[in-house]
Amino acid sequence: MEVVHHLQGNLEIIVSFLEVVLEAVAAFCIVLGLLVSIKLSVNLRRRRSTIQFPLGRLRLTFGRWLALALEFQLGADVLATTVAPTFEALGKLGAIAIIRTFLNYFLNKELIEVFEMQKRFDEDETDLSNSN
């Protein structure tokens, strides 16, 4: 029985460490997405001074990074449930996981809409430049 307690203690340490790693990766994704989006914004602004700024493209870029970060955070939540000591803790983690899953779903849905809108905008822009 002591071996089981020892293994359980080690499992909790490992899971806690991995949870922190996944949360750190999620934060890194958000920061990296912000930097990539800022760089894209500067480049687009520099190239498209007379044409309407493609906000949809910028949202699409940052949104992809946010969706990736949410996946890592959800992974951390799943790990946390493996060693949650009480039903109350499991309930809280379950609620957080559900909220993050819904956020991810609606973010992905919006990204698809923005992608389609951006695609139409780019096609219209190409048609305008070809007609000149």
Does the pLDDT at position 47 exceed 70? yes
The residue among 49, 17, 55, 19 whose CA lies nearest residue 37 is 55
Per-residue pLDDT at 125: 66
Per-residue pLDDT at 84: 66
Binned at pLDDT 50, 70 and 90, residue 123 comes out as confident
Residue 92 domain boundaries = 2-131
How crowded is the C-beta side of 29, counted as CA atoms within 13 Å?
A: 19
Per-residue pLDDT at 38: 94
Indicate the SS3 state at residue 13.
Answer: helix
Per-residue pLDDT at 69: 93
Binned at pLDDT 50, 70 and 90, residue 17 comes out as very high
How many domains, in total, are found in the chain? 1
Question: Could you tell me the pTM of the whole model?
Answer: 0.72
- 50-64 pLDDT, tens digit per residue, is 566 677 788 888 988
The residue type found at 40 is L
d(CA 106, CA 108): 5
Binned at pLDDT 50, 70 and 90, residue 21 comes out as very high
